[in-house]
Homo-oligomer: A and B are copies of this chain.
Amino acid sequence: MSNLALDRNALIDASMEKIHEYLSEKKYFLARDELLKYNEADIAEMLEDISDDLGLRNTVILFRLLPKDVCVEVFSYMSSDDQVDIISEITEKETSYIVGELDFDDKIDILEELPANVVNRILEKTPKNERRKINTFLNYPENSAGSLMTPEFISLKKDWTTSEALDHIRKVGTDAETIYTCYVRDNAWKLIGIVSLSTLVLSDPDTKINDIMRTEYVCESVTTDQEKVSDDFKKYGYLAMPIVDKEHRLVGIITVDDILEVMEDEATEDIERMNGVIDLDNSDKEYLDLSVWQHARNRLPWLLILMVAYIFTGMIISRFENALSSVISLVTYMPMLMGTGGNCGSQAATLIIRGIATDEVETEDWIKVLWKEIRIGAVIGVILSAVNFIRVTVLDGESPGIALTVCTAMIMIVIFAKLIGSMIPLIVKKIRLDPALIANPAISSVSDAVALTIYFAMAAMILKI
């Protein structure tokens, strides 16, 4: 079988067809054997697809037919919704076995999702020591470093030689989340240094750990937000980050594979916020798994806030109602001017918000940003108003006065929208809020009001109405 990733999806699709056939004929063992041609991450995804297409029952039957060790691995790759679904269908004994075998951080993740009575029954069967540890971990706030870390790391003593350290790793390594970064603690459990497996392997066997460990390292506190942790992973290129408590005692580590997911979740959160969706449950639930009510609740806040903003827009229009009814064709260009203003504002806001998130733009740069956006706005404004002059005069056959009104308004609206879009995120950052919270809808509605005011002011000046 070829392992080329390119063919992989095609192979999986072909196998899935076979499996569907086997399942329809109730040939479960053949279907299981087909699954076992793939690795655990693929099997997890295939089982999830089977559950979507043919129902949970088939997935559970196949899951139970998997060899015990494979089944734990597959389980760890599944999304938490599917994990909960499977647990709801298997016996308590099976559940205890799977949860018991999971890596510590995966164990915490699934325990957080399960109903309290199931968690209690699982914990009853857990040794007291482990139970205490689990309870501590379950109490770290969501999205904190503590909630992401695992206590299964390799701890070395500073007076060991590298060969003693390697012997120790051989003995306890299989239970650790990673053996590639090892940690040196003093007697009070305080972190004093870090040594990588690569240094251990490449050093002379008699070298003391004390002489090769790095004492200049980066670590995070259990309460640090996961976004900061992921930024530091990117900055320092670590494979694992040590997590310490208030007394600087090493209590866990976070490995880079878990950070990949955090980065995706954080990007999703930013994208949603910027477009006016606020995840009120703060859950990582997928689109299709959220109920209609949850979706509505996440989307309503901004829509309602903006209703208030539109009252102002409405007031501006009311004030100019007489002018408008005397030159009704002015209404024709309202959507274009407001829309363009909104788009220009959200373009600028997007670039600045993202620039702040990736540390490219800082609040001290505001004057540079301001000057840049004014010039960008002028360039874009002039080009757009040239295009519009042709449209308004040639295509629509309107009077030069109206064309002039639309075109001068356009230039000013674009410049102001760029300024609003770029400055608001910087102001929000300055007052220490997340700039992504200032959603684009807010930027557009401010631009809307400004656009209307400029447009009507120009109309009043040029058309004398």
Contact = CB atoms under 8 A, between A and B. Distances in A.
Interface of A: 2-6, 8, 38-39, 41, 45, 166, 169-170, 173-174, 178-180, 191, 197-198, 201-202, 215-221, 224, 228, 230, 232-237, 239, 244, 248, 256-257, 259-261, 263-264, 267-268, 270-272, 274-277, 286-288, 292-293, 295-296, 299-300, 302-304, 306-307, 310-311, 313-314, 317-318, 321, 324-325, 328-329, 331-336, 338-340, 342-344, 346-347, 349-352, 354-355, 358, 360-361, 365, 368-369, 372, 375-376, 379-380, 383-384, 387-388, 391, 395-396, 440-441, 444-445, 448, 452
Q: Which of A272, A338, A361, A388 has the most CB of B within 10 A?
A: A338
A379 B277 CA distance: 16
A178 B38 CA distance: 26
Contact of A216 (B39, B347, B375): B39
6 contacts: A3-B219, A180-B180, A275-B346, A287-B351, A302-B343, A314-B396
B219 A354 contact: no
B296 A218 contact: no
A335 B314 contact: yes
Contacts of A383: 296, 300, 304
Given A3-B218, A287-B351, 8 more contacts: A3-B191, A5-B219, A179-B201, A259-B260, A260-B260, A271-B354, A313-B336, A314-B332
Given A3-B217, A39-B216, A307 B388 contact: yes
B202 A173 contact: yes
A238 to B, nearest CB: 8
Nearest to A304: B387
B311 A391 contact: yes
Contacts of A4: 219, 221, 244, 248
B201 A170 contact: yes
Contacts of A321: 328-329, 331-332
Contacts of A232: 5
B197 A292 contact: no
A354 B122 CA distance: 36
B277 A347 contact: yes
B360 A288 contact: yes
B264 A347 contact: no
A259 B296 CA distance: 35
B5 A224 contact: yes
Nearest to A445: B339
A302 B201 CA distance: 55
Nearest to A376: B295
A292 B373 CA distance: 8
Contact of A343 (B170, B230, B303): B303
A358 B304 contact: no
Given A6-B221, A180-B197, A317-B332, A358 B166 contact: no
Contact of A218 (B39, B311, B346): B39
Nearest to A315: B332
Contacts of A263: 260, 263-264, 267
Given A314-B332, A324-B328, A331-B331, A346 B276 contact: yes
B268 A358 contact: yes
A2 B190 CA distance: 12
Contacts of A336: 307, 310, 313-314
A121 B271 CA distance: 44
B264 A5 contact: no
Given A173-B198, A292-B375, A384 B304 contact: yes
A41 B237 contact: yes
Given A237-B41, A339-B306, A287 B334 contact: no
A87 to B, nearest CB: 21
A298 to B, nearest CB: 9
Given A5-B220, A275-B274, A339-B310, A355 B303 contact: no
A311 B376 contact: no
Contacts of A271: 267, 270-271, 274, 350, 354
A180 to B, nearest CB: 5
